[in-house]
Chains A and B, each alone.
Chain A
Amino acid sequence: MKAVTLEELERFLESVSSEYDVRVPIMLHDGSRTLGRLGEGKLAIRGGKIPFKPTSVFFPQWETMLLVDEEGKIKAANRAGKPIFLLGMTAQDLDCLEFIDKFFSTSFRDDVYFSKRDGAAIVGISGKCGIDGGFMKIAGGKCDLELICEGEEFLVVPYSTKGKELEERIRCAEQDASIDLLKKESDALPDADQDILEKASEMIRSERVPDEFWRDIAARCIVCGSCNFVCPTCTCFEVYDRNRNGLIERQRMWDSCQFDGFMREASGHNPMGTEMSRTRRRIHHKLVADRIRWGHMTCFRCGRCDDVCPTGIGMLAVCKEIVARYG
């Protein structure tokens, strides 16, 4: 099995940049990491998940969906360009991506989403490149190619036809690396968070969590919407039209179920009219409602909402509190 050094990886990324729009984790000026284009900043693969949700490459905060010209003719927004090459998805991120692929293609196909998603190459990251060298779970699939850090080098594991083609193009010195030890380490990783989510989900379903609990949590919420905006499985958006000198742009922008206007009806009536009900909904939707609709929970424990919530009421924190108080 191939294993690449960072230098070899960078050379490879440069070599694919002629046919792909390459997005990689980069270091920002203040020392934090984000997704950027190759060359926009120093490559920063190590350090765990990218704080900003990587699925935003396909479902950005804000985008134009279509244009209507002065004669009333509708045309799709210009989405020409190279296909996306996305490097930096963790195992949890890949679960999230798999889900939103399903979400955006069920009932009808969201062609705005798939205009970017189709043809994209997805590269997962795992192994010993988490925060402070911590071990990140190996995905073992759900992407074209996975880079598994064994310390200095990254093992190259292709899963799809596209992944195999890409793997063949990687030039590196090490050709005989073994994945066995890393796999063992990955399999031995504890998944206590999953157990807590399962327990909380079960308790909400069996109505063992009273309204009083949600009122308590709502009292600690400042309605910033961050939990939604960093969540890779949050797919809600607001649609609006903007008139630019006669050319109408229909746009969409991320929305948050924590806002009053999210479900408010034109009459002013709001079926989710209290912060308590909206707070409950945030958790209930992912742990219970989606489980009924899709057969599984739609929180994959990436931990971003817990990282960003300024008052400490992200998904895992709330579930821990449910289990502690009512379990």
Chain B
Amino acid sequence: MIFVIGSNTTEQHPLIGTRILKAVSRGARLIVADNRKIRLARVASLHLREKNGTDVALLNGMMNVIISEGLEDKEFIRTRTEHYEELRKTVEQYKPDVAAQITGLQAGEIIEAARMFARGEKAMVIYCMGITQHTHGVDNVKSCANLAMLTGNVGRPGTGVNPLRGQNNVQGACDVGALPNVFTGYQRVTDADRRAEFEKAWGAKNLPGNVGLTVTTAINAALAGDLKALFVMGENPMMSDPDQKHVKDALSKLDFLVVQDIFPTQTSELADVVLPGACYAEKDGTFTSTERRVQRVRKAVEPPGQSKPDWEILCEIARRAGYDGMRYDSPSDIMDEIARVTPIYGGVSYDRIDQVGLQWPCPKPDHPGTPVLHVGRFTREPGLFSPAEYKAPKELPDEEYPFLLSTGRCYFHFHTGTMTRRSRILEREERFPYVEISVGDAKRLRLVDKQKVLVSTRRGEVQSLARISDVVKEGTLFMTFHFEEACANALTINELDPEAKIPEYKVCAANLRKA
């Protein structure tokens, strides 16, 4: 039993998508919860097209059915979890007809999904940005976890809550502390003992114990004048952050902007200094995949011109800034240091990942790695049920902006198109910015396919080509943020999840008219 929610898996994680397709061919049941008729929905046993941003209501509704029909895993709840009573009370209010009203689904669909999931001998939840990119993204994730714990689907192969990471090495970047609140391996900077250990390891004094800014709050701080300098590596916030005008105003206000990337971007145009980095084929190192597997990447060709691998650039800057502690002969040396200071990477070394990578936690050189998390025990045992109430997205359609605009990626381009729009055949496949609109809406507005249209929100307006299809439901539009000539993020809203600070890319109010 596979429950995919908020993930266009075959297009955005094709290798994982193919495993789902194969599992379905072998008889696995598949539920897809996605407002869009994504590719994977074609082979699903059940496709739930809930209104964008109503996932908490859907998940609570499913849990309501599971509990009222006695399908929950009582043994698991008793032995492995706490706060069940709080969960029960919260989801009690989400009877199928209540959840149906919020989500726009039929009560019967919610009941069927609940039974199908709970009756699966092994059931897994797979989620991606459709769950996280909301002002209630954390609530969405908690609700997915609640569903898995309620049915005892944790800690066994074929079960679990499986977040698919949005980029090839975002897992690795987080693992080594590219976050505002932790050192490597999620060791908190607010913990004085941890700080003392890192001060010792790095020969440094007074490491700051305050939590820094996230990507999105840093942009806000720049606009407020509280942030003076920004060093951007391998990101293109001018295209990828919400509300492009806001981002441009913020970046323009900085005293100093450094951009390190492999190609010029809209962000590097605003930079005071551009540092050319080496691409994946020009450097040695590791990427950590979405299944926590630390894998080698190997240099095939020399970096062109003055470009250098990222680690060399960073070490060089540290030296020139007066810190002498970052001296490494090779990326393998750096991994040895990571292993020394990071318990979950403690047993990882280049020797061990020469052919096949290792999945963390891998604390010791003789530890085989951990393919399945939470076997017999949670990191926090017992597992805590964290019930969440449904909260509406920040900006919903109204008279002035009657459409709900959702954004994401397409199959042939990656992110802001920095790489894929330079690739001949990929660019040929998707040449022009487009906006998906339903057949019914197109008919009402007298649009024809590929007609030029203007899409506007309270943030801005872009010109795009109408793509009329049954992929989106009536009242909904979908755009991608790959195209600088009509960037979806000129339209999106800079409203953040209060905890994770992730923006609500998936919902804002928009209008559409002929160009």
Q: Which residues of A contact B (CB under 8 A)?
A: 29-31, 219-220, 222-224, 238, 240, 253, 255, 259-261, 268, 310-312
Contacts and interface: CB of A to CB of B under 8 A. Distances in A.
Interface string B205-231: 000000000000000000000000000
Interface string B148-179: 00000000000000000000000000000000
Interface stretch (B15-23, B107-115, B186-194): B15-23
Interface stretch (B119-127, B320-328, B423-431, B486-494): B423-431
B18 A310 contact: yes
Nearest to B11: A222
Interface in B14-61: 14-15, 17-18, 21-22, 25, 39, 42-43
A260 B428 CA distance: 9
Contact of A261 (B21, B42, B354, B429): B429
A259 B18 contact: no
Contacts of A220: 21, 25, 43
Interface string B243-273: 0000000000000000000000000000000
14 contacts: A29-B355, A31-B355, A219-B39, A219-B43, A220-B25, A222-B10, A223-B411, A224-B14, A238-B425, A238-B428, A253-B424, A253-B425, A259-B425, A310-B15
Nearest to B356: A30
Contact of A222 (B17, B355, B424, B425): B17
B443 interface: no
A266 to B, nearest CB: 11
A238 B425 CA distance: 8
Contacts, number: 45
Contacts of B355: 29-31
A222 B11 CA distance: 7
B450 interface: yes
A162 B307 CA distance: 48
| Chain B interface, DSSP helix/strand/loop, else mixed | helix
Nearest to A31: B355
Most interface-central of B15, B355, B424, B425 (chain A CB within 10 A): B425
Contacts of B450: 268
Given A220-B21, A220-B25, A222-B18, A261 B43 contact: no
A261 B429 CA distance: 5
B428 to A, nearest CB: 4
Contact of A219 (B18, B42, B354, B425): B42
B430 to A, nearest CB: 9
| Chain A interface, DSSP helix/strand/loop, else mixed | loop
A312 B18 CA distance: 9
- Nearest 6 interchain pairs by C-beta: A310-B18, A219-B42, A261-B428, A311-B21, A261-B429, A311-B18
A145 B238 CA distance: 60
Contacts of B411: 223
Interface string B401-431: 0000000000100000000000011001100
B424 A312 contact: no
Contacts of A223: 411
Nearest to A218: B42
B126 to A, nearest CB: 16
B429 A222 contact: no
Interface residues of B, number: 20
Contacts of A310: 14-15, 18, 21-22
Contact of A255 (B21, B39, B42, B425): B425
Nearest to A254: B425
Contacts of A255: 425
Given A31-B355, A222-B10, A311 B22 contact: yes
Given A253-B425, A261-B425, A312-B22, 9 more contacts: A219-B43, A222-B21, A224-B14, A238-B428, A259-B428, A261-B429, A310-B14, A310-B21, A310-B22
Contacts of A31: 355
A64 to B, nearest CB: 14
A117 B15 CA distance: 36
A222 B14 CA distance: 7
A31 B355 CA distance: 8
A260 B431 CA distance: 11
B424 A240 contact: yes
Nearest to B428: A261
Contacts of A30: 355
A238 B42 CA distance: 31
B410 to A, nearest CB: 11
A197 B144 CA distance: 46
B269 to A, nearest CB: 22
A27 B443 CA distance: 59
A261 B410 CA distance: 15
Contacts of B425: 238, 253, 255, 259, 261
Interface in B267-306: none
Interface string B333-359: 000000000000000000000110000
Contacts of B14: 222, 224, 310
Contacts of B429: 259-261
A211 B379 CA distance: 51
A268 B466 CA distance: 13
Contacts of A261: 425, 428-429
Nearest to A255: B425
A259 B425 CA distance: 9
A30 B354 CA distance: 8
Nearest to B425: A238
A224 B411 CA distance: 10
A312 B428 contact: no
A224 B425 CA distance: 12
B344 to A, nearest CB: 25
A321 B230 CA distance: 57
Nearest to B424: A240
A220 B24 CA distance: 10
A279 to B, nearest CB: 13
A223 B21 CA distance: 13
A115 to B, nearest CB: 23
A323 B355 CA distance: 40
A189 B11 CA distance: 41
B354 to A, nearest CB: 8
Nearest to B26: A312
Nearest to B354: A29
A238 B424 CA distance: 9
B507 to A, nearest CB: 27
Most interface-central of A253, A260, A311 (chain B CB within 10 A): A311
